């Protein structure tokens, strides 16, 4: 079987993304030789039909995914960090291979809408606190929440949008003009950099900006860390209503035709793991018990050899195992996947990623025709037929990509 390059987890402007547009992501995928691409936005299926249309134009094979943040109250009560390193019990969950066009019956559609509304409400409250800070410092400008929602988002606003909007406003204030682009900052020279740094020092309560002014992604990360995270002047704790129980999240995914998928955080730069993921054998057993038959990794986070250890073990146990890059930050990284420090994926990782993407392709193809997919409506997986799904998915992918 010829291996086709896959990136199964890409955020777009329908949540928050490094990409200015959905089509930019696909153009870059094509340039970099990635032929199977999965849209994977937070709480949103709104980009699916455009993703499919634009993929077909480029002979790319589309995967339709979604991401949630759920809560396991038992893990929370026991202080177990799952795949959020800072918040016990909080659990990121993806859905893979959903129906396109999207279809979500009640009561699941209302549950999804409520979670989106709660998420937006938290960011709106953060925006108000930023404006309180700006007013108290008498900086002469404010953020317009409705304008940010209208001009920077597709209806799903994240704290990263606030960080970007504030960064732009600070640059405009220092430059005395709109845009605050990298070119403008460079042309304005040292005087503009001093003004920008001084404004951020005021906003950060006397703490100096560490990042280079032209490194927008790093500056926005500092804004988030200093103002929007716990302890920051504009931090607003998330309402518990914004976190559905893990079981309910999985029910929404199944109702939308998808496969509940557990995203592994895996090893951090120091080789550490969360409480849940450190014991791989027990983590796999628990995931099976909780109804997960699919997992994924954001490969750029992980050491190549540790990533391979986890991926191979889980795949051999029968899990579908896909890899992605996320691109859920301002930093523009390659779409062609690698491990930490840009180390190329091994052949075994590329093969498992492709074969697992074939399973997803076959699943969403069958479900789209009203048939039963790899995982049925109750969440039971046909693991004994995985090779059949791989074969079907391979045929589907090659018929579109010509690979």
| pLDDT at position 239 | 81
Three-state DSSP class for residue 199: helix
| Percent of the chain's residues with pLDDT above 70 | 97
* Residues written for the chain: 403
The residue-averaged pLDDT of 280-296 equals 98
Note the pLDDT of residue 175.
84
**Does domain 6-103+256-401 bear CATH number 3.20.20.140?**
yes
Average pLDDT score over residue span 320-349: 96
Instruction: Give pLDDT, residue 322.
Output: 98
List where CATH 3.20.20.140 sits in the chain: 6-103+256-401
Among residues 2, 23, 149, the alpha carbon closest in space to that of 10 is found at: 23
Average pLDDT over the chain reads 94
- Please give the share of the chain, as a percent, with pLDDT higher than 90: 89
CA distance 104 to 114: 14
What gap in Å lies between CA 259 and CA 254, rounded to an integer? 6
Task: Kindly state the average pLDDT of the residues 56-68.
Answer: 98
CA distance 177 to 154: 26
Q: Is the pLDDT of residue 186 over 70?
A: no
pLDDT (0 to 100) of residue 87:
87
230 vs 250, residue with greater confidence: 250
- What is the value of pTM for the model shown? 0.91
Extract the tokens encoding 225. 């860390």
Q: How far apart are CA 384 and CA 373, in angstroms?
A: 13
């Amino acid at each position: 079987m010829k291996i086709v390059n896959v990136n199964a987890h890409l955020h777009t402007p329908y949540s928050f993304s490094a990409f200015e547009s959905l089509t930019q992501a696909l153009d870059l995928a094509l340039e970099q030789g990635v032929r199977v691409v999965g849209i994977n936005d937070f709480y949103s299926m709104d980009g699916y039909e455009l993703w499919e249309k634009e993929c077909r134009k480029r002979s790319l094979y589309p995967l339709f995914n979604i991401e949630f943040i759920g809560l396991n109250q038992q893990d929370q009560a026991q202080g177990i960090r799952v795949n959020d390193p800072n918040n016990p019990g909080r659990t990121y969950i993806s859905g893979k291979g959903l129906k396109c066009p999207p279809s979500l019956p009640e009561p699941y559609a209302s549950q999804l809408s409520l979670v989106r509304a709660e998420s937006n409400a938290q960011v709106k409250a953060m925006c108000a606190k930023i404006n309180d800070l700006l007013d108290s410092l008498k900086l002469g400008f404010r953020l317009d929440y409705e304008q940010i929602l209208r001009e920077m988002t597709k209806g799903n606003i994240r704290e990263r949008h606030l960080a970007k909007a504030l960064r732009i406003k600070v640059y405009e204030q220092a430059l005395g003009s709109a845009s605050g682009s990298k070119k403008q900052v460079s042309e304005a020279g040292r005087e503009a950099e001093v003004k920008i740094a001084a404004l951020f020092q005021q906003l950060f309560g006397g703490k100096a900006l560490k990042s280079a002014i032209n490194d927008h992604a790093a500056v926005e990360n500092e804004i988030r860390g200093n103002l929007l995270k716990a302890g920051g002047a504009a931090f607003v704790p998330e309402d518990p209503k914004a976190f559905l129980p893990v079981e309910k999240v999985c029910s929404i995914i199944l109702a939308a035709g998808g496969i509940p998928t557990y995203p592994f955080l895996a090893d951090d730069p120091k080789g550490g793991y969360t409480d849940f993921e450190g014991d791989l054998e027990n983590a796999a057993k628990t995931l099976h018990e909780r109804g997960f038959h699919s997992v994924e990794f954001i490969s750029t986070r992980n050491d190549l050899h540790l990533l391979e250890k986890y991926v191979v073990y889980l795949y051999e146990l029968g899990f579908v195992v896909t890899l992605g890059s996320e691109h859920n930050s301002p930093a523009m990284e390659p779409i062609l996947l690698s491990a930490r420090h840009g180390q190329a994926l091994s052949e075994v990782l590329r093969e498992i990623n492709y074969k697992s993407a074939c399973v997803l392709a076959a699943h969403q193809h069958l479900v789209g025709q009203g048939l039963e997919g790899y995982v049925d409506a109750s969440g039971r997986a046909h693991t004994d037929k995985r090779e059949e799904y791989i074969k079907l998915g391979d045929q589907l992918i090659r018929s579109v990509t010509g690979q």
